Amino acid sequence: MSNIVEINNLVKSYENGHIKALNGIDLTIEEGEFVSIIGPSGSGKSTLLNMLGALDSPDSGSINVAGYDLSSSKDLNKFRAQKIGFVFQLHNLIPNLSVVENVEIPMFTSKMSNSEMRSKALTLLEGVGLKEKASQKPSKLSGGERQRVAIARALANNPSVILADEPTGSLDSKTSSKILKQLIDLHKKENVTLIIVTHDMNVAKLADRVIEVLDGKLVNAGDKSLENKIVVE
């Protein structure tokens, strides 16, 4: 399989270089892989995820995702619209829009007609088991349901990579399991590369590979199992 992510000596610092969030990261991720990124708070894992999604730019080094060189590419909006699907810890749904309209939001960047957008959004909602709640407002949904809408929204533009930042961080354990199952099913069904940042070891160990970040460096980048490893925090 080819690599969908290739990172070489990635450096990112804040506050005029006083805080090194990423300090020489080297990483490759294969297409269709499920990877979890773990590490204590402030270790740089979210910064790494932001770099992968082109929400932040590196100070030095190279980062190539789905064929885009993110350290030099100018068309990052197009990259995010076409290649990346984000799932955040908080669902971040727009409250005055219905569930189906929320799923349509990323499709505004495509050339789809209104009816095509509606049809696709309903199919995606069906995939996460919420088609019957398509016309409801997010406020009428439970926390787990809202996160499932956010997953449907992340899949709206057929992304190559789903980046999930603590997707179950604000959910109870039962709902968390459901959401994770849904994400993993989609990853397998659509062969989408899934990268999850998490504190939760139970979530991390579901991945094909676990990457540990500590003080802006990778301390473990390739093991398939967590045995004899990592004690986070």
Partner 1 sequence: MSFLKFILKNPFRRKNSAILAIFGICIGIIVIVALGGITSGLVSTFEDTIHAGGADFSISGKETGNSAYGTNTISANWTNIIANVSGVEEVYPIYVVLTSIGDDYMNTLIGINPNGTSMADLGIVEGRIFTDNASEVIIGKVYAKDKNLSVGDSIKIKGENFKVVGIYETGNSNMAGAVFTSITKVGDLMDDKDSISNLYVKVKKGEDPKTVADRIDKLYGENITTVSSVMEMQQMATMLNSLQAASWGISLLAIVVGGLGIINTMLMSVFERTREIGVLKAVGWSNRKILTMIVGESLVITILSAIIGSVIGVAACLLLCPMIGLTPVFNVETFVQAFGIAIIVGIIGGLYPASKAVKLPPTEALRYE
| Interface residues toward partner 1, by CB under 8 A | 50, 53, 55-56, 77-82, 84, 86, 88, 90, 92, 94-97, 101, 104-106, 108-109, 114, 117-118, 153, 156-157
Give the CA diameter of the chain: 53
Residue 205 CB burial class (10 angstroms; 0-12, 13-18, ≥19): middle
- Both structure tokens of 214: 């500590």
Closer to partner 1 by Cβ: residue 137 or 178? 137
- How far apart are CB 101 and partner 1 at their closest, in Å? 5
Q: How far is the CB of 170 from partner 1 (least distance, A)?
A: 14
Nearer to partner 1, 56 or 223 (CB): 56
Side by side, the strands of the sheet bearing 161-165 are: 84-87, 161-165, 193-197, 34-38, 209-214, 217-220
Nearer to partner 1, 65 or 206 (CB): 65
* Smaller CB separation from partner 1, 135 or 142: 135
Task: Name the residue nearer to partner 1 (CB basis): 135 or 202.
Answer: 135
- The nearest distance, CB 226 to partner 1, in angstroms, is 29
- Within 8 A by CB and 6+ apart from 22, the residues are 10, 11, 12, 13, 44, 47, 48, 51, 58, 216
* Chain centroid to CA 183: 10
Q: 153 or 187, CB closer to partner 1?
A: 153
Q: For the CB of residue 12, give the shortest distance to partner 1 in the complex, in Å.
A: 11
Minimum CB distance to partner 1, residue 174 (Å) = 26
- Phi/psi of residue 64, nearest 5 degrees: -125, 120
Contacts 24+ apart (CB under 8 A), 57-61: 58/10, 58/11, 58/12, 58/22, 59/11, 59/12, 59/13, 60/9, 60/10, 60/11, 61/7, 61/8, 61/9, 61/10, 61/11, 61/24, 61/25
Minimal distance in Å, beta carbon 92 to partner 1? 5
In the complex with partner 1, the residue whose CB is nearer, 9 or 82, is: 82
- Cβ atoms within 10 Å, residue 96: 9
Instruction: Give the nearest distance from C-beta 111 to partner 1 in angstroms.
Output: 12
